[in-house]
Amino acid sequence: KQEVTQIPAALSVPEGENLVLNCSFTDSAIYNLQWFRQDPGKGLTSLLLIQSSQREQTSGRLNASLDKSSGRSTLYIAASQPGDSATYLCAVPAGGTSYGKLTFGQGTILTVHP
């Protein structure tokens, strides 16, 4: 059974800092890995999806890396801003015939203070 762990559980940084969020998974036979952002009481916004054949994906100030063999992914946020404050979740497909059945980590609660 796939298990996903995110470290740290919470992170508080001053504005402008670069930061790294970590995600690990137990079964390396994944199709892809997706990072989401969730604002309090809201739905999920997709940030980045990395296919199993890729090692990195970038979108603006965000960069996600994937190391399948070690079961790890990192989300790098450059020059953090207060608007980046949210919960960040990583998820991998549970396998089988559908990529849509996701297994989520517990999330990292990020606070960026001015």
Partner 1 sequence: SAVISQKPSRDICQRGTSLTIQCQVDSQVTMMFWYRQQPGQSLTLIATANQGSEATYESGFVIDKFPISRPNLTFSTLTVSNMSPEDSSIYLCSVEDRLSYEQYFGPGTRLTVT
CA distance 4 to 26: 7
CA distance 47 to 60: 10
- By CB under 8 A, name the one of 8, 98, 111, 113 that touches partner 1: 98
CA distance 109 to 67: 23
Shortest spacing between CB 107 and partner 1, in angstroms? 6
Each residue 15-54 as x (binds partner 1 by CB under 8 A) or -, in order, gives: ----------------xx-x-x----xxxxxx--x-x---
Under the binding rule (CB under 8 A), the answer on residue 104 touching partner 1 is: yes
